[in-house]
Structure 1
Amino acid sequence: MRGVPRLLTYCAVAGVLAAGVAAPVALGAGLLSNQVSDAVDGISATLANSDQPLVTTVTDRDGNPIATLYDQYRVPATYDRISNAAKAAIVSIEDHRFFSEGGVDVKGMVRAALHDSSGGSTQGGSTITQQYVKNYLINVVDRNNKAAQYADSADTIARKLREAKIAVQLGQTESKEDILTGYLNVVEFSGNIYGIGAAAQAYFHTTPDKLDVQQSALLAGMVNNPNLYNPYTHPDQALQRRNVVIDAMVTNRMLDASDAETAKAAPLGVVEGGPDLPSSTCMGAAPDAGFLCQYAESYLEAAGFTQDQLATGGYTVKTTMDPGVSQAVKDAVDANVPTTQDGVANTFAVVRPGSTTHEVLAMVANRNYGTDPAKGETSTDMVANASDVFGAGSSFKIFTSAAAMETGKAGLNTPLPNPDGDCFTPPNANQYTSCYPVRNDGHYSNPISLRDGLALSPNVAFVGLESRVGMPAVLDMARRLGLRYSLNTNDAGATPDPSSSNTQYSQPQSQYFQDKLSFTLGDSPVSPLEMANVSATLMSGGTWCPPNPILSVTDRYGAPVPVKQQACEQAVSPAIANTLEAGLSQDTVSGTSATAAKAAGWHHADIGKTGTTQESESVAFVGGVDDYAVSSLVFADGRTPQEICPGTPVHLGNCGNGAFGGTVAAPPYFRAFTTILGNRPDIPLPAPDPAYLDARG
């Protein structure tokens, strides 16, 4: 007798639905009736307003796809882009009365109720319309709510009645073609594959309009139990189920018997080693695109997009990546430091200067964006992050020079005291504070002009200048010119930890270095991307803009989506920016990278500043040419950092005379931009402003 209530309820439901009555109140089951009535209208509205999760496509600036982001791999297809074989297969096996019923198969429900009441295995009696409702609730509306998903599939009268009523409503408002299309686009085929379009690609490397009988039958058979009928994990069951579908197509007069036998004799024919899904993250991007893709994703999240929106919104994100520039730079860094070279990273960023935006054209490294260290991969964005924890060396003298010009302490012609060694009193010192000893690495003229100092990079002259300018002004200049993110990290390149008793970890660099004259020697963690943007600020007439990786975002319908961007700022006057560019124009001519430039046959007018940390654990070249601002940073990135040694390849070791910015970090720049620039005429550098050639006041 246990099945009698279920049977009576199903019979009542069948009667109500057959009569076209929308309200389940006619069943006379008060509480159940109220549950269903209260829920259905709200769910129907939710169904109508809930978009299916779609794949977001990330492209380069030319529109070429570089990555996909998704939670559910779905490639939607319209009715006319689904083969007749696929439609026939799904209707034959799932609901052969689909085109004649009204959303709910009353006969099927009664038959299921009679079968269930006799104690046999439970039969659903569900139509394709009902399955569409159920799958839409599970895979779309409630995809992030496990409890709700469980309720959507629970074997309860309330759930089935609710589902049936919504199906009736759909049957009255939607065409059969739209319902079948919607079902084929929402249903799961196994794993993370949703919809006939994604399944056609993943299992057969084809499109849904080209699915043949045996392919269509295999996919139609899977929807009943995607795991059991998975052709890779259960090929025998999948084959048997496929042939059952083919037989059903014959029974329903949608396939000739002779064609059916031919189809049943065919192998499964799925993609070898599949299913073949694209990566759902930027780690699937090409080696020259992964870091920029990840930076674009982070940039959009900072602009207000959620991770879920990006993974389900079906956006097209056109980035600023220049494929030609990116590939040339990637080739150059790989030639300098192989991808799997132990303990040595070579990052390279390229930013296009501008007064309204600084477009990021390339973000690459010898490392690739991924999860396998044995293949030279890293799962952090080492180009955007403050990943060079040893610092960019003397390239930080740019900040001291700019601050000195702005405060009037020095101009390009100003002679700077430059003995071989000196010991400087740190800021905020007391009688117990030791002086800060500094020595030059080599012999230079004493005094030396700021112009020659920028080219030859003596340490004593610049620490002395920094001491006279003052740390607040120098640190503020570093922030204004571009180190917005880096200076907010601590002296380990991480988010400051206020609970630490060590100021090296508890304070941001902007605070930690207020009393440390070593800052101008570049011994603090820094973002390679931000160093390229420093050059972009100078080359933009002193205008700072955030390094921007986004050209446009459009939604699933092709409509533009606005992206918030931090406003650009006039960081320094055009006069200071132009004068500092003039001061940086000799590095590749007579300065620290001149020998490497000559060896590379370099002849372009450019700006540059090299850097080398004390133990040669990091070397840098920061500069720019024409409308490209660049940074090339080579640094130790392993668990046991050591001195970096020049050679083929660049490597770690104890070479006695380690790498320098001019000998190891600059060559990838010369190699890449010789290719990028070709024979185009140079863009001349701006002339210095006479007001900043000498100290003032």
Structure 2
Amino acid sequence: MRKTEGLLKLLSLCLLAGVLVAGVLFPVVGAAGVASNQASETVDSMSSELATDPPPLVTNVTDSAGNVIATLYKQYRIPTAANQINDAMKWALISTEDRRFYDHKGVDWKGTIRAAISNQTGGDTQGASTLTQQYVKNYLINVVNRENPLGQEKAQEQTIARKLKEARIAIQLETKMPKDQILAGYLNVVEFSHQIYGVGAAAKAYFNTTPDKLTVPQAALLAGMVNNPIMYDPWRKPDNAMHRRNLVIDRMVDNKKLAPADAERLKTEPLGVVEKAPDKPASNCVGAGPENGFFCQYVVDYLLQHGMSEDELFTGGYTIKTTMDQRANDEAKKSAEAQVKKNQPNVANTLSLVKPGKERHEVVALAANRDYGLDKDRGQTTYPLPSGVTNVTGAGSSFKIFTAAAALKQGVAGINSTIQVPNFHISQVFTGGGDQCPPKDRYTRTYCVSNATEGGSGAMSLQTALATSPNTAFVILEEQAGMGPVVEMASKLGLRNSMAGNAATGGPVDPDNENAQFRTSQTAWYGPSDNSPGKGSFTLGVSPVSGLEMANVAATIMSGGVWCPPTPIASITDRDGKPVPYKEPACEQVVDEGLANSLAVGMSKDDMPGGTSHAAAAAARWTRPMIGKTGTTQNNGSAAFVGATPQLAGAAMVFRPDSPNGGLYDRGPGNVVAARGTNGDMFGGKTPARTWFGAVSKILEGQPELPLPPLDPRYDRVGRR
């Protein structure tokens, strides 16, 4: 019986050896039919990928001056060329993993057969994979199948079939790449602990150095880790790491790459890694810090919305140069915090700044009183407060901009036309008022509106109305111009994403939700329907809105009626420095230039005596020509200021992001405690206006005071066209 078992085992080993040899010789005899053409093509394709396709890299996000503000990645890797890796690292790895690396042609077939026999006969388990084979396996695990657990599992199967495929690819790879390039490729692909990939990232994260400056003990530690990164983690298992490092040093001696005396001395050195944990950057916009994180997040959101996939963005190794002006962003952050403390519960104070222009509208700053980050206990958030549709209670009377623009276009009024300004108005067009409003009929209550203060003159120019903001005047203009043109104007001037939001959440609209204030159809968004002319409260700004889009509205007006997407991108280059195209909507002439210029003239008195932002402008010693419009919602739930000069447009908004309607004790004008001043600052002319003037006055220091565009006579008074 024992003889039979011995003969069978010997026969199986002979067969195994034959299979392995046939696999090694595959490229030579493949044409004679050892494998199918399909298998040959697969192997050839795989070896070509390893020879030409680089692994995932880190994408760098910079400010407008080219300074890196954040890194985006799924694998932390710093690409390193062969000549950037010193001999200590190369020989530490070769001595440990593949002493005959420079002698074989991809497969050490003697070692492979020896290991297979040892494993089959119950001896010590041996791998005998060359570095070229390990490169293939690690490439399959960390690159090809990096998000495919099943593929990763197959790439590590302890089967002859997998070994044969790996061997065939390794042999072909060595016909396409020199040895040093294969070695560098392996050292760029392999994973170390803490999801650090490649020797470049490992040298930086472990020792704060570069691969060309690694010492022998440092190189030995890294070379030893590739065998089992978790087992030899120097922070979690320092004893294991020390033992493994010293074993690598001994193998360098055995391979005659290190003198025995030097080895004994080097083995006494400490591990020498940085304290506590690897020093690697954050993998997302948290790495941009509390000041720049909101801008970085907008960059990511913008690119994902305009044709780039998340995987492409986080693995492409791009350099994304943004339009963020670091000084402007810093001033915006300072001003927002000066008005509302960063830890003020349930209050966000945001400022978004955009450069006007007829070819681009570049975003230069996105800031908030709150810090960008993950620590909620410190008031941090990753919600896009300055750029997203995050203010769900509205921008108040800032929306009167759209009613004024529609009135100009429809010929209802000119900038200097006299318009009605009663203290109280009962609408004969809109419905859905309050307790003061008499029923229109048995089933319908009328819509009525009053002004914030008593004693209106009964009539004033549209320019004066824009500066003093009487509610009744704009509801009447809304009736006269028609809700459709008013809503269309809001979209044209810039509220593109805002108008696709839901009143409760700022998210996608549920078409079956009758209470949704916004619709995806612009004409339906607070606009007319078969049985309703629309909601008169639209002009009072009670709808969810993006601060950045309100800033872009001002930029559109100051650009002669040219709308452009508010872009955060200056340029994108790939890992080789070549430009990367990306999708971006084209600029549009959305309103007549004369109308836009005349609207700017109409909005030019807000900072003057009698204007709603005069006190804030005076406090900032403001002297520049500008346009402006304040807004405050019902019960001071939120407030805004929209303003612009020829050089810079912006919007500041104060709102409650966590609980929009407030709590039981969070009502009325006392809901904001400003860092300066008194309670009750949630008015457009107070906290938001102070934030805008405080930042923009400093950002524009040293720049010329440019005039506003002239009034077009066609929009002066009704009947001039």
**With structure 1 as the length reference, what TM-score do the two structures score?**
0.95
Residues 1:511 and 2:524 aligned together:
yes
Residues 1:452 and 2:452 aligned together:
no
Residues 1:563 and 2:576 aligned together:
no
How big is the shift at 1:356? Answer: 1.1
Whether contact under 8 Å (1:487, 1:510) holds in the other structure is: no
3-state secondary structure, aligned to 2:623: coil
1:660 pairs with one of 674, 680, 683: 683
How big is the shift at 1:24? Answer: 6.7
Whether contact under 8 Å (1:650, 1:664) holds in the other structure is: no
Whether contact under 8 Å (1:604, 1:682) holds in the other structure is: yes
Q: Which residue of 2 aligns with 1:80?
A: 83
How big is the shift at 1:644? Answer: 4.9
Residues 5/239 of structure 1: CA separation in 2 closer, same or farther (3 Å cut):
farther
CA distance in 1, matches of 2:681, 2:212: 62
Q: Which residue of 2 aligns with 1:497?
A: 510
How big is the shift at 1:572? Answer: 0.9
Residues 1:441 and 2:456 aligned together:
no
Indicate the larger mover: 401-410 or 687-696.
Answer: 687-696
Whether contact under 8 Å (1:46, 1:141) holds in the other structure is: no
Q: Which residue of 1 aligns with 2:552?
A: 533
User: Residue type matched to 1:370 in 2?
Assistant: G
3-state secondary structure, aligned to 2:570: strand
3-state secondary structure, aligned to 2:635: coil
How big is the shift at 1:530? Answer: 0.2
Residues 1:11 and 2:17 aligned together:
yes
How big is the shift at 1:512? Answer: 4.2
What CA deviation, in whole Å up to 9, does each residue of 1:475-515 have, x standing for no partner? 00000000011111122222111343544477767524121
Q: Which residue of 1 aligns with 2:191?
A: 188
Whether contact under 8 Å (1:16, 1:24) holds in the other structure is: no
User: Residue type matched to 2:449 in 1?
Assistant: V
Superposition pairs of residues 236-315 of structure 1, within 5 angstroms: 236-315=239-318
2:620 pairs with one of 600, 606, 627: 600
User: Residue type matched to 1:664 in 2?
Assistant: T
Whether contact under 8 Å (2:51, 2:173) holds in the other structure is: no
Q: Which residue of 2 aligns with 1:55?
A: 58
3-state secondary structure, aligned to 1:286: helix
Whether contact under 8 Å (1:579, 1:688) holds in the other structure is: yes
Q: Which residue of 1 aligns with 2:437?
A: none
CA distance in 2, matches of 1:549, 1:522: 26
2:206 pairs with one of 200, 203, 207: 203
Residues 169/503 of structure 1: CA separation in 2 closer, same or farther (3 Å cut):
closer
Whether contact under 8 Å (1:103, 1:127) holds in the other structure is: yes
Superposition pairs of residues 29-108 of structure 1, within 5 angstroms: 37=40, 39-48=42-51, 50-108=53-111
Residues 667/328 of structure 1: CA separation in 2 closer, same or farther (3 Å cut):
same
User: Residue type matched to 1:8 in 2?
Assistant: C
Indicate the larger mover: 152-161 or 7-16.
Answer: 7-16
What CA deviation, in whole Å up to 9, does each residue of 1:225-267 have, x standing for no partner? 0110111111110110011001111111111222212221111
Whether contact under 8 Å (1:646, 1:664) holds in the other structure is: no
How big is the shift at 1:34? Answer: 8.6
What CA deviation, in whole Å up to 9, does each residue of 1:160-218 have, x standing for no partner? 01111111112222111101000000001123211000111111111111111111111
Residues 1:230 and 2:233 aligned together:
yes
3-state secondary structure, aligned to 2:686: helix
CA distance in 2, matches of 1:221, 1:464: 79
Q: Which residue of 1 aligns with 2:644?
A: 624
Q: Which residue of 2 aligns with 1:685?
A: 708
CA distance in 2, matches of 1:661, 1:526: 15
Residues 614/157 of structure 1: CA separation in 2 closer, same or farther (3 Å cut):
same
CA distance in 1, matches of 2:488, 2:377: 41
Residues 1:137 and 2:140 aligned together:
yes
CA distance in 2, matches of 1:170, 1:16: 18
Residues 1:476 and 2:507 aligned together:
no
Whether contact under 8 Å (2:491, 2:522) holds in the other structure is: no
3-state secondary structure, aligned to 1:511: coil
CA distance in 1, matches of 2:190, 2:101: 17
Indicate the larger mover: 376-385 or 229-238.
Answer: 376-385
Whether contact under 8 Å (1:53, 1:74) holds in the other structure is: yes
User: Residue type matched to 1:516 in 2?
Assistant: K
Superposition pairs of residues 271-420 of structure 1, within 5 angstroms: 271-420=274-423
User: Residue type matched to 2:711 in 1?
Assistant: P
CA distance in 2, matches of 1:652, 1:378: 26
Residues 8/502 of structure 1: CA separation in 2 closer, same or farther (3 Å cut):
farther
Structure 2 unaligned blocks of 5 or more: 433-439, 528-533
Whether contact under 8 Å (1:620, 1:661) holds in the other structure is: yes
Indicate the larger mover: 619-628 or 286-295.
Answer: 286-295
Whether contact under 8 Å (2:495, 2:553) holds in the other structure is: yes
What CA deviation, in whole Å up to 9, does each residue of 1:539-585 have, x standing for no partner? 00000011111111111111101122111111111111111111111
Q: Which residue of 2 aligns with 1:694?
A: 717
3-state secondary structure, aligned to 1:380: coil
RMSD: 2.4
CA distance in 2, matches of 1:520, 1:94: 73
3-state secondary structure, aligned to 1:529: helix
Give the fraction of aligned pairs with identical amino acids, expressed as a percent: 49
CA distance in 2, matches of 1:152, 1:652: 65
Residues 177/163 of structure 1: CA separation in 2 closer, same or farther (3 Å cut):
same
Whether contact under 8 Å (2:24, 2:168) holds in the other structure is: no
Residues 1:649 and 2:660 aligned together:
no
Whether contact under 8 Å (2:26, 2:168) holds in the other structure is: no
How big is the shift at 1:659? Answer: 2.7
Whether contact under 8 Å (1:352, 1:627) holds in the other structure is: yes
Whether contact under 8 Å (2:23, 2:164) holds in the other structure is: no
Whether contact under 8 Å (1:3, 1:119) holds in the other structure is: no
Q: Which residue of 1 aligns with 2:602?
A: 583
CA distance in 2, matches of 1:613, 1:510: 23
Whether contact under 8 Å (2:597, 2:709) holds in the other structure is: yes
Residues matched between the structures, number:
692
3-state secondary structure, aligned to 1:191: helix
How big is the shift at 1:145? Answer: 2.2
Whether contact under 8 Å (2:319, 2:575) holds in the other structure is: yes
3-state secondary structure, aligned to 2:155: helix
CA distance in 2, matches of 1:138, 1:22: 28
Q: Which residue of 1 aligns with 2:530?
A: none
CA distance in 2, matches of 1:394, 1:501: 25
What CA deviation, in whole Å up to 9, does each residue of 1:26-47 have, x standing for no partner? 9x9x8x8899656423433443
Whether contact under 8 Å (1:24, 1:36) holds in the other structure is: no
User: Residue type matched to 2:244 in 1?
Assistant: R
Whether contact under 8 Å (2:200, 2:211) holds in the other structure is: yes
What CA deviation, in whole Å up to 9, does each residue of 1:382-408 have, x standing for no partner? 222111111111111100000001111
Residues 1:424 and 2:437 aligned together:
no
3-state secondary structure, aligned to 2:222: helix
User: Residue type matched to 2:18 in 1?
Assistant: A
Residues 206/427 of structure 1: CA separation in 2 closer, same or farther (3 Å cut):
same
1:547 pairs with one of 566, 572, 586: 566
Q: Which residue of 1 aligns with 2:435?
A: none
3-state secondary structure, aligned to 2:705: coil
